[in-house]
């Protein structure tokens, strides 16, 4: 059979691997019209129709809809343009499947409750822009971004969590927990108070010299097993206050001590550190040592009755 010989629908089916029913459907839809009919009235197809059917099958297997395929075949749109758009759609589908896979692995590893599974699935279905809007809403509703809280608001935005295309189960769980945390009004109030006192917890990338002055002597005291409520803790607390005084030379000792207690109280909330730990986890950053254990120890020492 040469190229000029018309093909019966059965022969086209054998050549293309498509069923007779499918070929007839494409013919009726006008996608691949038959070229002639046999004396008995059966449809006949030429070589061009066979080649068009091969292309249709390939594009359908790639997930392209029939209306778009028809536009390509009718040369109303270029195949290159259509394929480029379709490739983007496939990329999006791949990212979605990876997120779903991460959710399933997170569930398998931790045995999550039905409520947790629903939440994780819901959150991972959000686009990157939608997830970013969750953080923007948290910032705008929590901080005065135009005035007193600008520094912390800017820092929160710059460190906004961003799930990778193929997140680990730990990143999925961290994102779900973070989304719940930033939705709590009590937590937002704590972050607002933190901004008002112009205090930033250590490990966020903007911790100042004061926090480093606190960390070293307190860490040494804790390692030595010093009781923060015992007499040995008082000189350590005094030394911390004296060290901090170097950064605030114009503040009286009593006032400085009160200020330091106020600052430590602001960060001495496990949810504040948990927020940053979750952000680090989602972004895949190295988790730095937290301030909270040191803050708790020093608070107890500073609050002791200073009367001899």
Q: Domain 7-73 falls in which CATH fold? A: Multidrug-efflux Transporter Regulator; Chain: A; Domain 2 (1.10.1660)
Q: What is the pTM of this model?
A: 0.49
In Å, how far from its chain's centre is CA 62? 28
Instruction: Judge whether 47 and 83 are in contact, CB under 8 Å.
Output: no
Which residues, including other chains, have CB under 8 Å from residue 224's CB and lie 6 or more apart?
none
Which residues, including other chains, have CB under 8 Å from residue 21's CB and lie 6 or more apart?
none
List the alpha helices (DSSP H) in the chain: 9-16, 20-28, 47-61, 66-73, 79-110, 114-124, 128-142, 150-158, 169-182, 185-196, 209-223, 233-245, 253-267, 270-283, 292-303
Per-residue pLDDT of the chain (308 residues; tens, 9 = 90+): 445 678 899 999 998 888 999 999 988 888 888 888 888 888 899 888 888 888 888 888 777 788 888 888 888 777 777 777 767 667 766 766 776 676 677 666 666 667 666 666 666 666 677 777 888 888 888 876 555 566 667 777 777 787 777 788 788 888 888 888 888 888 888 787 777 655 444 443 334 455 666 777 888 888 888 888 888 888 888 888 887 777 666 777 777 778 777 777 766 677 877 888 888 888 888 665 555 566 778 888 888 755 44
Instruction: Judge whether 226 and 196 are in contact, CB under 8 Å.
Output: no
Q: Which residue has the tokens 């948990």?
A: 274
d(CA 305, CA 308): 8
User: Domain-by-domain residue ranges, the chain?
Assistant: 7-73, 92-135+156-186, 209-303
d(CA 136, CA 17): 53
């Amino acid at each position: 059979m040469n190229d000029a010989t018309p093909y019966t629908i059965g022969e086209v089916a054998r050549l293309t691997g498509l069923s007779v029913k499918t070929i007839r459907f494409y013919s009726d839809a006008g996608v691949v019209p038959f070229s002639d009919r046999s004396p008995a009235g059966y449809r006949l197809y030429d070589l061009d129709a066979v080649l068009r059917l091969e292309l249709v099958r390939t594009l359908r297997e790639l997930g392209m809809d029939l209306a778009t395929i028809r536009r390509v075949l009718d040369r109303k749109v270029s195949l290159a343009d259509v394929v480029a758009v379709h490739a983007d759609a496939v990329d999006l589908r791949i990212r979605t499947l990876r997120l779903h896979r991460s959710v399933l692995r997170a569930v398998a590893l931790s045995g999550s409750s039905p409520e947790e599974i629903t939440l994780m699935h819901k959150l991972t279905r959000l686009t990157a822009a939608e997830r970013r809007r969750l953080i923007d809403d948290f910032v705008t509703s929590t901080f005065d971004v135009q005035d007193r809280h600008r520094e912390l608001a800017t820092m929160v935005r710059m460190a906004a969590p961003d799930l990778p295309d193929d997140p680990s189960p730990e990143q999925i769980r961290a994102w779900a927990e973070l989304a719940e945390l930033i939705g709590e009004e009590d937590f937002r109030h704590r972050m607002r108070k933190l901004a008002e006192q112009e205090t930033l917890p250590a490990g966020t990338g903007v911790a100042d010299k004061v926090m480093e002055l606190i960390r070293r002597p307190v860490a040494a005291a804790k390692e030595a097993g010093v009781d923060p409520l015992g007499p040995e803790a008082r000189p350590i607390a005094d030394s911390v206050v004296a060290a901090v005084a170097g950064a605030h030379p114009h503040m009286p000792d009593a006032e400085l001590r009160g200020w330091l207690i106020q600052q430590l109280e602001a960060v001495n909330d496990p949810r504040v550190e948990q927020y940053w730990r979750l952000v680090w986890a989602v972004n895949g950053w190295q988790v730095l040592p937290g301030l909270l254990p040191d803050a708790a120890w020093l608070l107890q020492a500073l609050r002791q009755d200073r009367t001899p």
